[in-house]
Amino acid sequence: MASTMQFQTRLFIDGEFVDCADGGRIEVLNPHNNSRLAEVAEARSADIDKAVAAAWKAFPAWRAMAAADRGRLLLKFADAIEAHTDELARIESLDTGHPIRDTRGLDVPRTAATFRYFGGMADKLHGSVVPVEQGFLNYVAREPVGVVGQIVPWNFPVMFTSWKMGPALAAGNCVVLKPAELTPLSSLKIAELMREVGFPRGVVNIVPGFGPVAGQYLAEHPGITKIAFTGSTATGRKIAQASAGNLKRVQLELGGKGANIVFDDADLPAAIGGSAFAIFHNQGQACIAGSRLLLHERIADRFLDGFLKLASSIKLGDPLDPATEMGPLTSMMHRDRVLNYCRVAREEGGEVLIGGAAPSDPALAGGCYVMPTVVRARPRDRVCQEEVFGPFVTVTTFKDEEEVLAIANDTVYGLGGGLWTRDLQRAHRIANRLITGMVWINCYKRVNPGSPFGGVRGSGYGRDMGFEAMLDYTTPKSVWVNVEAQIAPFYRR
């Protein structure tokens, strides 16, 4: 049971777990029943100042360490994560409401895989030689940017911790990371494991705190040379504005309103199952969720018949129950927000085909649960334009490619989208014209440490994962060497 688990509750600064400067605390709740899991130290400006100072103190030695040695430490850390899979998965399920079958089978393995990927990439980061005029050598070296601030969200905290830390550390940077105030427990466990495997003091610092206080201060901090943030588009704008003080580099992975297109030649059973995963996995709390189902009018009824049956069969329940397929949303405040969108859908004339309410099961009454919800709506309705971030999917029909592309691209977002078709030419044609950072064809929500993850437009800029992410944590330095050229005398008039 949760009561038998011991959680780390202090800040991690300069290689030690410490209390916060002013004694502030954050109450961490179990979204299954809203019982208290822990009280965690709340970082404020004085704590972040200490963390930034510790990171800069550690930076020269960490940067100078052989890249292969940094890589070996990251690989050792990946092994430690795998060795603690059950513990990390349990913490993550208790803290977020994500079913244990997914935290154990997806989240923690993906976390280990990301650190392992960047451990292997640490000594693959190389510069280049530029062909210049005879007598000179010009080479370009890639250098770490310094101390980076990283802010991770509450929906996949342990996985996003690896997405942020992995490329930054591999490239030779030091890190000050702020986990979300709702879900700090797995990130603090990560800090325990980092200390156990031997990361030098100050290389990683973890400071749970509230966004408007700790997050804002981290974004503004003159000692931070890059800020990397995953979260809402509205908060991303604030992060970008706050970072302008010292012109720090900014990477933003923000909201999404993914179009999931099903053409009339699609493999319907595959599309139905894949579309359910696209929206109901992690209770729909994913920026890349396929939250807009766009169905060709010739197959819409057949698709919906199977999709609604599948959605109705999803087992809601305690995240620690291995049979649970969908757990609670991560907080009561967010549950109420999602339920409000159900009200908005009805007010706009949408037809709620299934769900649209909290479950009636008394065993779930004290938790943050929302039933799988499917709503027939028009493309310009609020529920088709705004990110709901829950188990809530809209359904709209279309006649042809031009119409569906117009609908799919008609949002402020541009993170991910998908399509289902047997026509290879159509698949590439549509993928080319979707205005998104990622496209899935006959699948959805596939991720890999080697594949860049990020969006365009209101979904942000910069990338997590892939070699692109590692490059984003470096800056190029151009070095000129006079090999044999004679220098002309200074000309005077």
For residue 486, with 0-12 CB atoms within 10 Å meaning exposed, 13-18 middle and 19 or more buried, which class applies? Answer: exposed
287 flagged as catalytic = yes
CB 29 within 8 A of CB 49: no
Structure tokens at 346: 């009805």
126 SS3 class: coil
Q: How far apart are the first and last CA of the chain?
A: 86
Catalytic annotation present for 384:
no
What residue spans of 178-267 are helical by DSSP H?
A: 185-197, 216-220, 233-242
DSSP 486: P
CA gap 311, 294 in Å, rounded? 17
Beta strand segments in 289-328, E: 292-296
Which residues is 128 bridged to in the sheet?
140
Which of 370, 390, 392 lies closest to 292 in space, CA to CA? 392
Residue of 220, 253, 342, 384 marked active site: 253
DSSP 213: I
Active-site pick, 20, 174, 287, 368: 287
CA dihedral 256, 262, 266, 267 (to 10 degrees): 70
Cα separation, 177 vs 180, in Å, equals 10
Torsion of CA 420, 426, 432, 435, to 10 degrees: -50
H or E element at residue 89: helix 85-96
Copy the structure tokens of residue 40.
């965690």
Who contacts 320 (Cβ-Cβ below 8 Å, separation ≥6)? 2, 32, 90, 93, 94, 100
- Please state the length of the chain: 493
* Tokens (6 digits) for 388: 């709901």
Contact present, 274 and 443 (Cβ < 8 Å): yes
In the numeric block, the tokens 């990560």 are attached to 190
Between CA 179 and CA 218 the distance in angstroms is 12
- Maximum C-alpha span of the chain: 93
Given a contact cutoff of 8 angstroms between Cβ atoms, the answer to whether 377 and 358 are in contact is no
- The catalytic residues are 253, 287
